[in-house]
Every structure is written in structure tokens, then in C-alpha cells.
């Protein structure tokens, strides 16, 4: 019984959530909202309007957690996706923006969500997208890497590897000796 | 066990050492010490990748490595075997080399998992080193992704046999052919790469200093250390130490 009541309550939440989101999102132009399912919304927004959208979602709709910022390299522009989670309604909102490729600069949302600092640092390291106002933009994992941003599509990993490294022979004589003794090789 | 087989490295070319000059008593002592050495191996397992997960069962009661006289050791200075269990990123490789250089000879390196052989499933990655034996003398590779504890134990037993026969001498190559290994390390880490250990001095200590110990790459290293005065890094400490001793008197 309790379980059913909870379910009903959650359904109501979803319904009210849609209304709240609609109200908030109407305050911003240049925005497209798409409901994927009960718990997922995709919002496409212009890059200028994103900080306002995040403030509204955090301050007025209870989206207190920024789960992640992901970055996509579309070769002519970057796409940044801000994943926001509400613990009250259990709804995930993904806010998508596009920014220009060169120079790849965007504003930090550290002042709205503090965890953004880490995500932005990571994206700067892997994609070279600089976030103005982020507290720390130094190397995070690739502290001893001096090449180009490795996750960019323009960075040819295979060519880099072939230039940089040698390979061992896969069918050397000693392998045949082991096979002659009864060892098996999985090809 | 049938799927994976321990593979010996082809990196076993050793420069001939005048062993025949030993008399029969020396040979008997060598044979005895090799026998003992093969039965008391301390393993430093540098758990770089997923292969490390096969070591707890290999060590504990199911497969029980210790019945062969092999047991884990916590410091490189007391360890005989360096187990590299998986992919080695370039950052990690620096630490592996630092660790290896701290170990006392005779020392053995075992590369576990396909990643140490040829990069394994990370062969395409910019961040991992591919052939471990280019940077360190590797005694044995145990291929597999990941090798089961049976394969690990078989590999260790083969190493024990090699040690007992006095054939596991790859570690001498690091001193004899230091220029080659240093060159490969510099290729990855840059010309400023240096470690606190003076390998050439150690090579002289072990009587392993040879024609291939030095070359262009060691000349680069020596130039760098002289330019940056790295040879005198510990001089202030020594001075301070002697001063306090004098003060006590």
C-alpha cells in the first residue's frame, strides 16, 4: 500500500515538474525543450542563456546537483552538455549548448555549481576548451603530457602511436618451441 | 590453463662473461646459492592494471604461491622480482623505472598480461607504453588478458628453473646496455629524463661496465646532470650531517 502511494506521489511530481519547467523555461527565449521520458528532459539552449537557465533550475526547480559536464567535438564546433539532477523529483535535465571551435572559450559555471570546477578542468585538459572564471585550469591527469589535447578528433592517435612506439614480433621462434611442447596459441 | 601460456622473452641475449675462470669450489658455491635463491623469492607487485586482480588468489590459499617460496614484499630494496601486472602508462613507466633502479641485483622483471607485451587492448592509446622490454630488461612475459593464477604460477616456476640454472641474467643487461635502455626512456620522457640512481657507477660496482654501457644517450644524461649540478644535490645534507657530528664532539 505504501509503495502504491509513493508511486502515485511520484507521478504527481512528474506532472508538476513539467509545469514548473514550462514556467521557468518560458522566461528564456532561444530554447527548445524535448521530453525523452518521465525522468529525462533535453534542453537545447543558446550559449549566452545557459548560465541563466542553470540559475533558474537550481534556484526555482530544485536541480541542486550538476552530475557532469560532457563535451563533444563536432569538428566545426564544440557541444557542451550540462547534466542536472533533482533529488526531489528524480528528473534529469540535460542542457545542450554549442560553442565555436576557435577560440574554444566559454564561461565557467563554478559560481552556480562548485563541482563544475573539476569538470571544466578535465574538459580543458582533454579538449582544450578554456573556461573563463574557473578556479583552476591547470593539468589534472595528464600532468606529464605536452602534446595536443588528446580527445580532439584532429589528434590522430594511431599516427602518433606508430611514430612513437615499436612493436614486438607476434610469431617468434620460441613460440613455435612452446607449441611443439604442446602449448596452444589462441589466434 | 589451456588458453594461456607463459611466454619467455626473446630478450635474453647476454654478453659472455668469463665464467669458465671460476674454480670448482666457486662453481659449487654458485650452484648452491642459485638453488637457494630460486627458493626464496620476494615479489614486489607493481599493480598497474587489471592483471593485479589475479594475484590475490595466486598468493592466498587457493593457489598458494608461498609453497614455492614466493611471497609479497613491500619495498623495492628488499624485493627480487618486479611484477608488472598490466598496461603501463607513460607516467607509470617513470615510476616503474625508479622502482626498478632501487632494487638490488640480482633482480628479475616479469611482465604479466598482453599489455606489457605489445600494448594489449591499449595498443592504440597515446598514453601507454607498448613494449616493456624496451625500457627494462624483462625476464619473462606471461601473456593473456588476464592470465589465470595457474599461468602466473607456471611462469614463476619457469623463472625459478632459469634462476637455478643461472640463466636468468637479464638484469645484467641493464648495466651492460644502459645506453640502449636510456635512449628508449629519453625517447618517451624527453632529454631531461634522469633518475637519482647513478647506473654507470653501479655498473662499475657490479663489474658489468662494458662498451655498450655508454654512448650518445648517456652522454646527454651526463651533460644534463653536470649542467644542472645534480651530482652535488646531496652535498648540503652531507655537510650538515658532518657539522652536527662535529658539534656533538
Sequence ranges of the domains in chain A:
2-152
Say whether pTM exceeds 0.95: no
CA distance B118 to chain A (A): 6
What are the residues of chain A with a beta carbon less than 8 Å away from any beta carbon of chain B?
A: 142-145, 147, 150, 155, 157-158, 160-161, 164-170, 172-175, 178, 183-186
**Does B118 contact A164 at a Cβ distance shorter than 8 Å?**
no
* Cis? peptide before B106, omega within 30° of 0: yes
Among B residues 148-207, those touching chain A with beta carbons less than 8 Å apart: 187-189
| Chunked mean pLDDT (size 10), chain A, 187 residues | 55 64 68 86 90 90 93 95 93 94 93 94 94 92 89 93 87 79 78
Q: Tell me what pLDDT residue B171 has.
A: 92
pLDDT of A12:
63
Cα nearest neighbour of B8 on chain A? A174
Interface test with B, best of A152, A161, A176 (most B CBs within 10 A): A161
pLDDT tens per residue across span B149-177: 999 999 999 999 999 998 889 999 999 99
Whether the CB of B94 is below 8 Å from some CB of chain A: the reply is: yes
The Cα B147–Cα B83 span in angstroms is 13
Which domains occur in chain B, in start order?
A: 6-176 (3.40.50.12280), 182-249 (no CATH)
Q: What is the pLDDT of residue B198?
A: 87
What CATH number matches the domain at A2-152, 3.40.190.10, 2.60.120.200, 3.90.230.10, 3.30.460.80? 3.30.460.80
Kindly indicate whether the ipTM for this predicted assembly is greater than 0.90, answering yes or no: no
Residue ranges of E strands in A20-119: 31-37, 40-45, 65-73, 77-86, 91-100, 105-107
Residue B2 to residue A175, Cβ atoms within 8 A: no
**Per-residue pLDDT at B237:** 46
Q: B193, exposed or middle or buried, with CB in 10 Å at 0-12, 13-18, 19+?
A: middle
Q: Which chain B residues touch A166 with a CB distance below 8 Å?
A: 130-131, 134
Nearest to B126 among A150, A166, A184 (CB): A150
End-to-end CA distance of chain A: 58
Residues of A with CB below 8 A from B131's CB? 165-168
Q: What is the pLDDT of residue A1?
A: 44
Nearest to A126 by CA among A105, A160, A151: A151
- Residue B7: predicted pLDDT: 45
Cβ of A174 within 8 Å of Cβ of B134? The answer is: no
Question: What stretches in chain B show pLDDT beneath 70?
Answer: 1-21, 231-249
* Minimum-distance CB partner of A168 among B118, B188, B189: B118
Residues with Cβ within 8 Å of B35's Cβ and at least 6 positions away in sequence, in order, are: B164
What torsion do the CA atoms of B56, B93, A118, A122 make, to the nearest 10 degrees?
A: -120
pLDDT confidence of residue B186:
93
Calculate how close chain A gets to B91, using CA atoms only, in Å: 7
The answer to whether the Cβ–Cβ distance between B5 and A183 falls below 8 Å is yes
Task: State the pLDDT at residue B246.
Answer: 47
Identify all chain A residues contacting B124, using CB atoms and an 8 Å cutoff.
157-158, 161
CB pairs under 8 A between A and B: 57
Q: What pLDDT score was predicted for residue A147?
A: 87
In angstroms, the separation between the Cα of residue B193 and the nearest Cα of chain A is 12
Q: Is the peptide bond before A103 cis (omega within 30 degrees of 0)?
A: yes
Amino acid at each position: 500500500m505504501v509503495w502504491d502511494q509513493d508511486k502515485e506521489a511520484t507521478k504527481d511530481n512528474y506532472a508538476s515538474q513539467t509545469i514548473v519547467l514550462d514556467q521557468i523555461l518560458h522566461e528564456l527565449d532561444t530554447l527548445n525543450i524535448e521530453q525523452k521520458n518521465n525522468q529525462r528532459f533535453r534542453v537545447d539552449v543558446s550559449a549566452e542563456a545557459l548560465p541563466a537557465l542553470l540559475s533558474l533550475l537550481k534556484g526555482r526547480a530544485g536541480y541542486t546537483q550538476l552530475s557532469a559536464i560532457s563535451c563533444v567535438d563536432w569538428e566545426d564546433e564544440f557541444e557542451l552538455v550540462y547534466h542536472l539532477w533533482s533529488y526531489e523529483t528524480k528528473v534529469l535535465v540535460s542542457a545542450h549548448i554549442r560553442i565555436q571551435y576557435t577560440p574554444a572559450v566559454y564561461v565557467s559555471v563554478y559560481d552556480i555549481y562548485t563541482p563544475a570546477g573539476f569538470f571544466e578542468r578535465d574538459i580543458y585538459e582533454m579538449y582544450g576548451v578554456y573556461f573563463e572564471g574557473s578556479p583552476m585550469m591547470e593539468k589534472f591527469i595528464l600532468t606529464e603530457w605536452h602534446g595536443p589535447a588528446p580527445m580532439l578528433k584532429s589528434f590522430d592517435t594511431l599516427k602518433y602511436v606508430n611514430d612513437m612506439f615499436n612493436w614486438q614480433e607476434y610469431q617468434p621462434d620460441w613460440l613455435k618451441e612452446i607449441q611443439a611442447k604442446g602449448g596452444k596459441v589462441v589466434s | 590453463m589451456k588458453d594461456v601460456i607463459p611466454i619467455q622473452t626473446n630478450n635474453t641475449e647476454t654478453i659472455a662473461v668469463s665464467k669458465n675462470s671460476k674454480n670448482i669450489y666457486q662453481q659449487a658455491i654458485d650452484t648452491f646459492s642459485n638453488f637457494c635463491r630460486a627458493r626464496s623469492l620476494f615479489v614486489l607487485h607493481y599493480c598497474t592494471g587489471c592483471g593485479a586482480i589475479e594475484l590475490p588468489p595466486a598468493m592466498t590459499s587457493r593457489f598458494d604461491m608461498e609453497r614455492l617460496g614466493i611471497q609479497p614484499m613491500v619495498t623495492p630494496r628488499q624485493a627480487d622480482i618486479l611484477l608488472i601486472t598490466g598496461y603501463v602508462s607513460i607516467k607509470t613507466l617513470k615510476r616503474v623505472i625508479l622502482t626498478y633502479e632501487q632494487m638490488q641485483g640480482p633482480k628479475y622483471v616479469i611482465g604479466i598480461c598482453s599489455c606489457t607485451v605489445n600494448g594489449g587492448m591499449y595498443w592504440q592509446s597515446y598514453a601507454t607504453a607498448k613494449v616493456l622490454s624496451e625500457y627494462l630488461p624483462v625476464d619473462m612475459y606471461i601473456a593473456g588478458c588476464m592470465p589465470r593464477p595457474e599461468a602466473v604460477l607456471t611462469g614463476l616456476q619457469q623463472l625459478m628453473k632459469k634462476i637455478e640454472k643461472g640463466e636468468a641474467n637479464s638484469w645484467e643487461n641493464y648495466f651492460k646496455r644502459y645506453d640502449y635502455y636510456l635512449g628508449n626512456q629519453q625517447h618517451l620522457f624527453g632529454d631531461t629524463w634522469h633518475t637519482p640512481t647513478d647506473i654507470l657507477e653501479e655498473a662499475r660496482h657490479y663489474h658489468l661496465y662494458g662498451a655498450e654501457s655508454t654512448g650518445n644517450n648517456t652522454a646527454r644524461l651526463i651533460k644534463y646532470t653536470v649542467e644542472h649540478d645534480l651530482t652535488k644535490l646531496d652535498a648540503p645534507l652531507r655537510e650538515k650531517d658532518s657539522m652536527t657530528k662535529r658539534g656533538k664532539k
